[in-house]
Structure 1
Amino acid sequence: MEDVTDIIKPLNSAQREAVTTEAKNSLVLAGAGSGKTRVLVHRIAWLIEAEKISPWAILAVTFTNKASKEMKGRIESLLDIPTHNLWVGTFHGLAHRLLRSHWQEANLPQNFQIIDSEDQLRLIRRLSKDMDLDKDRWKPKQSQWFINGQKDKGLRPHQIETNHDFYLTKMVDLYINYEAACQRGGLVDFAEILLRAHEMWLNNPELLAHYRNRFSHILVDEFQDTNKVQYAWIRLLAGESGSVFVVGDDDQCLISGTKITVEDGNSRNIENIKVGDKVLSGHGRGDFALATVTRCYKKKFSGQLITLHTSSGRKLTSTKEHTHFAGYIQDEAPQKHFLYLMYKKKVGFRIGITKVHTNAIKHSKLGYMIRSVQEHADALWIIRAHDSENEARIDETITSLQYQIPTLPFTPRKQRSANGLAHEESFIKHVFDTIDSKIGALRLLEENGLNFDQPHHRPQSRNSNRSNIVVTLCGERRGARMPMHRISVVGNDAERREKIEAAGFSVRDAKKNSKSWRHETCNKSFTSIMKSAHQLKTIIEGDIILKAHILPNSLPFIQAAAIREGMSIITEDGSYDTVTKIEQSHANRNVYDIDVENTHNFIANGIVTHNSVYGWRGAEVENIRNFGRDFPGAETLRLEQNYRSTANILNAANALIDNNQTRMGKELWTEDKDGEQIQLYSAFNDLDEARFIADQIEIWSNSGGARSDNAILYRSNAQSRVLEEAMLNANIPYKIYGGMRFFERTEIKDALAYLRLMAHRHDDAGFERVVNTPTRGIGERTLQIVRNHARNQEISLWQAAVEHTIGDQLTARARNSLQGFIELIERMSASSKNKILSEQIDIAIKQSSLKSHYEKEGSEKARGRIENLEELVNAGRQFAPEEGELNILDEFITHAALEAGEGQADEWEDCVQMMTLHSAKGLEFPQVFLSGMEEELFPHKMSANDPDKLEEERRLCYVGITRARQKLYMTYAESRRLYGQEHYPKISRFIREIPDELLEEVRIRSTVSYPVTRHNSNRPNYKKQMSDNLKASYAAESGTGLNPGQQVRHSKFGDGTILMVEGNGAQARIQIHFTEFGSKWLVAGYAKLEPI
């Protein structure tokens, strides 16, 4: 083997185990910053260097283009190999690559075009109009969501069940027309890319075989975010021979308010449980004692909840996937009649009915267990439980017909007439050979909350045809204080025994002079036991059966959705209780779970329950849950150590999120040293904040660091404008990650186009952009007539429009609409006369109805656009022309055009990354600036008074903090123009929630006039005034004799306070807040300011 030291040396033990695993298929579950991307990169390197897998046989899927570029860069650095031809990219990027290479097989023209969301919506609007659909009932945006949603599920129009619903039928008709239009025009939308590539493989087996042969190893990042078609894409490509390695997040699943029994015998809500708390836990064989909480989880959840009601009046609500301990016990279960689904390898599925107690003998074996033995079945699921036999028989008949599953037994019956169909083996075989029962059976399981790999019952192992690996939680005490967990495998065949012994496991004879053998061992670590179980599963191709020995009768691990009426659960007083009713509901709320040291169980609402295993976030839950079923021999690994940040940064993140009543995700930790304290900067205003950030980036760069090491994060897109200006003024290249620069944004371009028309009526580009924005009934036909007239007469579009308002070439309705637009521009222009620049911009935004248009839309995206428009007003307030002589509106429009024309940094350029906090997930940087840490900005004013939304904001702050690897700055401004008004905000509560010892306040002499204290009302309240010598020093440095905070008088604007001085000498720019005229920028040499 090659020297692979460089590959595994940087990894901690958990990461090393994941990277070097020998398992064919692996699911790696991880928390924030625990090194998921690092594991993927080093796994690829390990495959290439240690296992000699060709780089061209590896396909790696990321969720962002940036992540794929970063992954390629890391691989190239680690292995010193070119990566430009590696298949590393997003699902859509890789699928697009396939479609370009095989456009004919995909039934596409060679020059097919990708359409973005706006183009897609425009097409849907046109088709809806052609179909005469009521736009209020079949809203184009909702139609777009519907079509994309169906594609994400892998559904074409003919596969959608409408059940004669009129609304849905019209939606499907629109989907049909939309597909036809796209096919005619050679158009492919974003959702279509992956679906078309998936269908291309399905319809071209030879092509699929080619790619299966090529890609022997498939790796997927952020697996929890895959939708159904993406999961199907992976599964199809992997086939039977491919190796799949996926990395995702895990989560939790009890609702808030669930009562957890703690050390003093009282109960506490689960959301108030903390790491280190002692909770009551089952230790095995009826003993209950205290155990320590090692981790706490919390997640926003939207989906199905299951509520269990018991005969004693207990009630427990969880997500449907949460694991409980429940099952039918012979001496406890009431009589019930079951509809069951039975499975036998190499035969198929059948359904039937049975009951709890056979022949009215309560102490006999459970009916379904007897049936399983009689028919040599391998697995059995309880579909439904009924109170009477007739109810069960009706259910059997209907279900058999609905799902096309036989009711015949697997083996011929021996009793009654020997001439019946059920008694003739050849007839039975003919039925199961003819009918593919698997399709209906899997659908039946899915629709009833059941999993193929988690049956209610598996018969005991008998020979090499069936291998059960039984894992028992708290299976042994043997006098030990803490319980031990047991694993056992039994058999009577020499082949499996030899395989197990060859792998290093001990095997003994089950009985003296017997062929039967047994492997059995115990361990205090449940993780170690499960690791052994997965090893054995691979060796003997067995099934893992999980049980809990909390009371003398062991109960199986079972998900909430699989629990049935009549099952027994365990109570905190050491007895059994019976499930009498099961309710389903849908909710959008927080869910929680805790991990308990050693015992892995706790008491919730008086019921013993298990720790959660997987996260529950919609479709991805099914993907994570089904991974073990769909990818044979899959192992599950966990990462817990945070590999990203220093200890101080992690401690701050953990302290912050602790205010959400519990830790988010895992208790993050790191082996890195404490690192620097978090730098806290109090800016005089938002301009000072932006300049400070630019200065720190320059210091980093001048010290030998790369600009790309820096990220500026902000809560709202509107904050980027001031930060962008600071970067431009400092000549620092930058990029807006996941978005556009401020003056390139649609709503800003629209507002500027109105301003251009207000200033210059004959601006054709401005006219074209806003004549029907927002929509005002001026259609394409009308505009084409205006364009033709303008071209023929060689006049502007404005003049052509004016002339057509008095002719008869247009319909009365079209003339009126055009006249209304012309009058609007004239009215806006008249209203803005003698107004300051910011007021002119405000008039354009309001009178044009741009702002009200987005207010009516009401979405979060629309609110962001409104904030951008309000920030444009702020830009007008802060703008100062070079000498104040030219038309300020023209200068501002030119300034905006030049800034938009600057463009973002080139691909190759070393540049700063700027992004919203929502875009920052999964990224990491050596130095991070978390800006705008003020109340009403972060947390956002729309969230501050809503507890759930506030917790989401805090979680977003947690994400921002944990993006930093080495150094973190948190900045806030004492004054900020926000939502169209001057604000003097309070410091964000999120800063106050971080311990003092983790923070260091930054002092910059030019900007420390009176920082807002970060201390809350429970601490000493103080203000730090800028000392006279510092003021003098700053004034001398600027060469103006002026400094922030100084009172001055202007001949036109009156008295004001200096907010900021930029530059030196006569060319210095000074921002002053005037009492009557608001904030203005003036040039020092022309302003003629008089100190007062």
Structure 2
Amino acid sequence: MDIDSLNDKQKEALLYNEGPLLILAGAGSGKTKVVTSKIAYLIENEVPSWRILAITFTNKAAREMRERVAMLIDEDVSPMWIGTFHAICVRILRKNIENLGYGSNYNIYDRADQNTIIKESYKELNINKEIYNSRTILSKISSWKNEELTPSEVLDGNKEDIFNFNAGKIYEFYQNKLKENNALDFDDLLIKTVELLREFPDVREFYQNKFKYIFVDEYQDTNSIQYKLIKLFCGKAPNLTVVGDNDQSIYKWRGADISNILNFQKDFPGAKIIKLEQNYRSTQNILDVANSVIKNNPQELSKSLWTKRQGGEKVYYKEFSVSSEEEFAVTNKILGLNYKGYSFEDMAILYRTNAQSRGFEESLSREGINYKIVGGLRFYDRAEVKDIMAYLKVINNPLDEIALLRIINKPKRGIGDSSIEKIRDYAINNNLSMFEVIKNIENYEDLNVRAKKNIKSFANLINLLIERKDSLNVGELAELVVDESQYVEDLKNQNTLEARTKISNIDELISNIMSYDKETSLSDYLSNMSLLTDVDKTSDAKGVNLMTVHAAKGLEFKIVFLVGMEEGLFPIIRQDEDEDIEEERRLCYVAITRAEDLLFISSSKTRYLYGKMTPKIKSRFINEMQDTIEIVEEKNQRLIDVIDYSGKIDERITTYKKVQTPNKSIKSVNVGDKVKHKIFGQGMIVQKKEKNGDIEVVVSFENKGLKKLLLSVAPIEVID
């Protein structure tokens, strides 16, 4: 392996392999290259790959890490353990969970499955679902689990708090139902692994001896349970390498604890810290802006990014009168950059909240610019895909009542809700699983002959599929499910566009399953599917990228528009707490460092919020970066929306054929003109184009938003 391509600090990190090491890796500093080179170096120096554990936060990162290591060395790296925290825990639990009283064929419940249990609890516990909504309850349960609080501890500690006491009762019901169904949720995967390693020394020592070298990526994003898991893996003398950046810790809201990275040297005495500060992504001008913002945070682990790409284009900031002008100007600039040769895919609009996308979507659509929202409905969240997956879950684990209930009448086979309810009640009263009752439905008297026949037919179908499970690979089994269940045949009979779309999705699912190794077991396939995260799934559409700053983490674009930089929006602070401001500042730093070549920053003096125009002031972060940005001051209000961020007029937007119009009160108008309408009041022209011998303008009215008007008939006049 050639290490000459590494810089001095990267080489130092590669060669330090005895004892704990924190690689403090700034944005764009090549951390993945360092980690993969370090792993490859160890294997080349006779460390068996099976003795290496590498933990990532996304499946995509795990795949890329494995592929990169394989490219660096001419050896089989398949024995190496590389995966997310959840994936690693699944592997350990499959082998050892029977110690905790679960079967090794447990299923992993997703959010829909969890919601089903919570909804069951309302009826069983006589609890008001409006007050105790499932989202709130599941959030509380997750928090309690991550604090390692059992249901009984929650109940004991909240006897005077009626809300939390009842939530604790739901938690107790929820956990009991998971155990009955031989199922775990995502929190359980980590918590049960921690419990296993703590309570069973032989299991803990096995893995501590197995993993001689441990790597953890994105260490700044670890939570308390993940931290405990790492400590349990390490033992007394760890060769632990963690890679992270305290300046990019932006997930406090989902449990990330920045103190894990800040206290690394305290937690692992004798630990070495190596800082990677050379950036390979952005220009120095962009890095200067990032450094100017982040230096205002506490500097326990300070660093300053630099690059050999000195200079570069200036970073421009512009404050607009209203948010609609900001949206139009960004769209205008995107058109101009595309005209100069940049592809739309090279550009990204970053905003703090999802709600901000609407205006930019409309503005881009008006100009016919393709765009994609990063994030959206995942493939595996589509109903027809979830149905086929539920069949596979039942085949793997017939105790999975939630999956069973999903498919018992899909496609429709004449099994009504009342029959299903009777089966469930009988199962509960006789301490049986639903599947046991269904298998022996002929012994149950409280159903009519037709219902029994339909249920027996379903039971025979599932039994057939279970019998064939071990003789078929997972792809063949999935095909058998589709054929024997008549699911696709039912869709074909519907003969609608929606049905055809669903068939295409099922075809895609089967194709994907077929691509798996023929030795992959059904349990392993289902585990892998459950571990797919939203982070790993983005829209297939091409065009300008629109996303929140959180969604942009780990991505990079040639051109970035950072919009809505206003107090209350970015930072989006509800209480002016130091920790919250610091996290928002780190988020701003992440946004800035996504840009490779060009960065444009903007805000608005007014924004349409809660049904009215609301005054806004520019973000405090603009003040922090003001010495490193070029502030565009408007000298001619008439041209406010056609002046680009460098102060130049875009001729493609402002050159129009002169058209005579009957409206005698208006001789000519320009984008940027202030106008008054008899009904809509005052506003500003933000767009203008010729249309069928007339002139159509888009006006942003102060109290009525955007309106399209024809000058020949619109009762408007230009005002000073």
Task: Select 1:725's aligned residue among 362, 370, 385.
Answer: 362
Task: Select 1:188's aligned residue among 164, 184, 203.
Answer: 184
In the other structure, the counterpart of 1:627 is 268
In the other structure, the counterpart of 2:704 is 1078
Residues 1058 and 1070, structure 1, Cα contact 8 Å, conserved in 2: no
Q: Where does structure 2 lack aligned partners over 5 or more consecutive residues?
A: 382-416, 422-533, 662-667
Q: Secondary structure at the match of 2:89?
A: helix
Computed over aligned residues only, the root mean square deviation of the Cα atoms, in angstroms, reads 5.7
In the alignment, structure 1 residue 1061 sits paired with structure 2 residue 699: no
Aligned residue pairs total 550
Equivalent-residue separation in structure 1 for 2:231 and 2:545 (angstroms): 35
Post-superposition shift, 1:726? 4.0
Task: Select 1:964's aligned residue among 582, 595, 601.
Answer: 595
In the other structure, the counterpart of 1:487 is none
Task: Select 1:677's aligned residue among 298, 302, 314.
Answer: 314
Equivalent-residue separation in structure 1 for 2:139 and 2:167 (angstroms): 11
Query: 2:177 corresponds to which letter in structure 1?
Result: A
Post-superposition shift, 1:223? 2.6
1:697-736 pair list within 5 angstroms: 709-728=346-365, 730-736=368-374
In the other structure, the counterpart of 1:927 is 559
In the other structure, the counterpart of 1:666 is 302
In the other structure, the counterpart of 1:60 is 54
Query: 1:933 corresponds to which letter in structure 2?
Result: M
Query: 1:916 corresponds to which letter in structure 2?
Result: T
- Once the two structures are superposed, residues 176-210 of structure 1 have per-residue CA deviations (whole angstroms, 9 ceiling, x without a partner) of 32211123345432211222345567799998888
Residues 905 and 911, structure 1, Cα contact 8 Å, conserved in 2: no
Residues 684 and 1007, structure 1, Cα contact 8 Å, conserved in 2: no
Q: Secondary structure at the match of 1:712?
A: strand
Q: 1:979 to 1:38 in 2, by over 3 A?
A: farther
Query: 1:1060 corresponds to which letter in structure 2?
Result: V
Residues 677 and 1000, structure 1, Cα contact 8 Å, conserved in 2: no
In the alignment, structure 1 residue 978 sits paired with structure 2 residue 609: yes
In the other structure, the counterpart of 1:1009 is 640
Query: 2:685 corresponds to which letter in structure 1?
Result: L
In the other structure, the counterpart of 2:285 is 648
In the alignment, structure 1 residue 95 sits paired with structure 2 residue 94: no
Query: 2:350 corresponds to which letter in structure 1?
Result: L
Residues 1047 and 1056, structure 1, Cα contact 8 Å, conserved in 2: yes
Task: Select 1:234's aligned residue among 227, 230, 248.
Answer: 230
In the other structure, the counterpart of 2:625 is 994
Q: Secondary structure at the match of 1:1081?
A: strand
Query: 2:698 corresponds to which letter in structure 1?
Result: Q
In the other structure, the counterpart of 2:12 is 17
Equivalent-residue separation in structure 2 for 1:697 and 1:922 (angstroms): 23
In the other structure, the counterpart of 1:246 is 242
Q: 1:54 to 1:157 in 2, by over 3 A?
A: same
1:132-211 pair list within 5 angstroms: 144-145=138-139, 147-154=141-148, 156=150, 162=156, 174-198=170-194
In the other structure, the counterpart of 2:671 is 1044
Post-superposition shift, 1:637? 1.9
Post-superposition shift, 1:929? 1.9
Equivalent-residue separation in structure 2 for 1:1042 and 1:973 (angstroms): 23
Larger relative helix fraction: 2
Residues 734 and 905, structure 1, Cα contact 8 Å, conserved in 2: no
- TM-score scaled by length of structure 1: 0.41
Q: Secondary structure at the match of 2:625?
A: coil
Q: 1:230 to 1:15 in 2, by over 3 A?
A: same
- Once the two structures are superposed, residues 532-575 of structure 1 have per-residue CA deviations (whole angstroms, 9 ceiling, x without a partner) of xxxxxxxxxxxxxxxxxxxxxxxxxxxxxxxxxxxxxxxxxxxx
In the alignment, structure 1 residue 916 sits paired with structure 2 residue 548: yes
Q: Secondary structure at the match of 1:1044?
A: coil
In the other structure, the counterpart of 2:218 is 222
Query: 1:626 corresponds to which letter in structure 2?
Result: D
Post-superposition shift, 1:667? 4.4
Query: Larger relative contact order (C-alpha < 8 A, sep ≥ 6)?
Result: 2
Q: 1:978 to 1:166 in 2, by over 3 A?
A: closer
Post-superposition shift, 1:230? 2.2
- Once the two structures are superposed, residues 421-464 of structure 1 have per-residue CA deviations (whole angstroms, 9 ceiling, x without a partner) of xxxxxxxxxxxxxxxxxxxxxxxxxxxxxxxxxxxxxxxxxxxx
- Once the two structures are superposed, residues 962-994 of structure 1 have per-residue CA deviations (whole angstroms, 9 ceiling, x without a partner) of 343443211234553233222464444432443
Q: Secondary structure at the match of 1:937?
A: coil
Equivalent-residue separation in structure 1 for 2:222 and 2:175 (angstroms): 24
In the other structure, the counterpart of 1:842 is none
- Once the two structures are superposed, residues 288-308 of structure 1 have per-residue CA deviations (whole angstroms, 9 ceiling, x without a partner) of xxxxxxxxxx99999xxxxxx
- Once the two structures are superposed, residues 372-398 of structure 1 have per-residue CA deviations (whole angstroms, 9 ceiling, x without a partner) of xxxxxxxxxxxxxxxxxxxxxxxxxxx
In the other structure, the counterpart of 2:529 is none
Moved more, 987-996 or 176-185: 987-996
**Which of these two proteins has the greater Rg computed from alpha carbons?**
1
Q: 1:89 to 1:681 in 2, by over 3 A?
A: farther
Post-superposition shift, 1:249? 5.0
Larger relative strand fraction: 1
In the alignment, structure 1 residue 51 sits paired with structure 2 residue 50: no
In the other structure, the counterpart of 2:525 is none
Post-superposition shift, 1:1033? 3.9
Equivalent-residue separation in structure 2 for 1:916 and 1:149 (angstroms): 25
In the other structure, the counterpart of 2:323 is 686
- TM-score scaled by length of structure 2: 0.59
Equivalent-residue separation in structure 2 for 1:109 and 1:1001 (angstroms): 63
Q: 1:224 to 1:679 in 2, by over 3 A?
A: closer
In the other structure, the counterpart of 1:566 is none
- Once the two structures are superposed, residues 142-183 of structure 1 have per-residue CA deviations (whole angstroms, 9 ceiling, x without a partner) of 764553234325565578895896769877665432211123
- State the identity as a percent: 30
Equivalent-residue separation in structure 2 for 1:16 and 1:4 (angstroms): 7
